[in-house]
Amino acid sequence: MDIQTTLLTSLRKLAEQHTMQTLGDRGGYLGASDIGYCPRKIILDKIHPACHDLATLLRFQRGHMAEEIIARAFTAAGYDNFERQVEIVLADDIPLRAHLDFVFTSQSHRIKSVLEIKSTSRIPDGAYGSWESQLYLQMGGLARQHPEYTVRGAILVLDLAHGDVGFFNGYEPEETIYRGLIERAGTIWSQYQAMLQGVEPEMKTEVTPLCGYCGHIATCPRFETEEVPQLAGVVEALQELQAREKNLQGQIKHIKGHLFAVVEQQGPIKSGGCLLRKATRSRKHLDMTRLETFLTQNGSVIDEYQEEREFSFLEIRKAKAA
Ligand code: SF4
């Protein structure tokens, strides 16, 4: 068995064990973390659980590590007033549960603070809507369970690869949002039950850039036709960023050119807390003329050693008007 297969098999086993120990059978209830996502995806994921690939399993482990790091950091800082993986039942009529990563309690101030940990590969500018939905459910449930406490919430995001931290703080329970989310969960649950009984309800779909990672895109009615207007905003945002990137690259090249001309004439200088100097590196390159001559002398041509390799990228072109 190669190392990839060993890792894949053992991490799958670990993920199953972790889910059973901390969350139980996820087919039997809805989790607060589900509710902010596309309803159709949530239901179909429950009916046909995905067999996770190595990249996803490693991301799960990164999430557990992030929580452990934070727990150790708080303990080292002398905090002992927190509980971990606090389970809360959120509704009476549907099995909806929240698992709170951290709950800090101040008995003297009668405050309970929820801290949700997220691990990402880039710290976003703001908390994602799905994270906030989860936090509002967690805070709402905790406030109902402990009416004598003031409840607060925050999301702490770790980017373990780059050592970055993001902190989105200042959340408080919002009754209207909480009720809306409970209602949304009720609809998802009843449609899930209908599917289990063999009825095919019309499930709500929510198109986002995350559809690219959805295992049910091939059968998704939103992608049946070529036109997907819900992604127009994302496409426009990407084009705007690309235009800015091009502009920035031009500006960077321009300024670099000026500074290079200075150090080329003047030698090394110090400015803006930096040392600027002309650096020279060498890089090996193939002398194609000599190589071709050598190959021809030995009865061969360079084409024989060239092979085509496929690669994929996102091409964006102006669509023709219908
Ligand atoms: S492809 Fe997008 S809209 Fe369709 S089910 Fe998946 S997440 Fe929902």
Q: What is the CATH number of the domain that holds 56?
A: 3.90.320.10
pLDDT grade for 23, boundaries at 50, 70 and 90? low
H or E stretch including 275? strand 274-276
Q: Could you tell me if residue 46 is inside a domain?
A: yes
Question: Ligand 1 mean position to 206 CA, how many Å?
Answer: 6
- Of the candidates 29, 57, 43, 53, the residue with the CA atom closest to the CA atom of residue 216: 43
Number of domains in the chain: 1
Alpha-carbon torsion 97, 15, 208, 132, what sign?
positive
Q: Could you tell me if residue 275 is inside a domain?
A: no
Q: Could you tell me if residue 255 is inside a domain?
A: no
Residue of 43, 217, 219 with the most ligand 1 atoms within 8 Å of its CB, for mutation: 217
Residue 239 is predicted with a pLDDT of: 94
- Which of these ranges, 19-28, 33-42, 59-68, has the smallest mean pLDDT? 19-28
Q: What is the pLDDT of residues 261-294, one digit of tens each?
A: 999 999 999 999 999 999 999 999 989 999 999 9
Q: What is the DSSP string of 45-104?
A: HHHS-----HHHHHHHHHHHHHHHHHHHHHHHTT---EEEEEEEE--SSS-EEEEEEEEE
* 129, two tokens: 């809507």
Predicted TM-score (pTM) of the model is 0.81
Q: Could you tell me if residue 194 is inside a domain?
A: yes
Which residue, by CA, sits nearest to atom 2 of ligand 1?
A: 211
State the Cα–Cα distance between residues 153 and 118, nearest whole angstrom.
Answer: 14
State the Cα–Cα distance between residues 55 and 225, nearest whole angstrom.
Answer: 30
pLDDT grade for 322, boundaries at 50, 70 and 90? low
Q: Could you tell me if residue 3 is inside a domain?
A: no
216 C-beta closer than 6 A to ligand 1: yes
Q: Could you tell me if residue 292 is inside a domain?
A: no
Mean pLDDT of the chain: 92
- DSSP conformation class of 321: P
Q: Give me the domain span that covers residue 33.
A: 10-224
Sorted by sequence, the CB contacts under 8 Å of residue 315 that are 6+ apart come out as none
Q: What is the pLDDT of residues 166-225, one digit of tens each?
A: 999 999 999 999 999 999 999 999 999 999 999 988 999 999 988 998 999 999 999 998
> Of all residues in the chain, what percent carry a pLDDT higher than 90?
75
Q: Could you tell me if residue 155 is inside a domain?
A: yes
State the Cα–Cα distance between residues 38 and 205, nearest whole angstrom.
Answer: 6
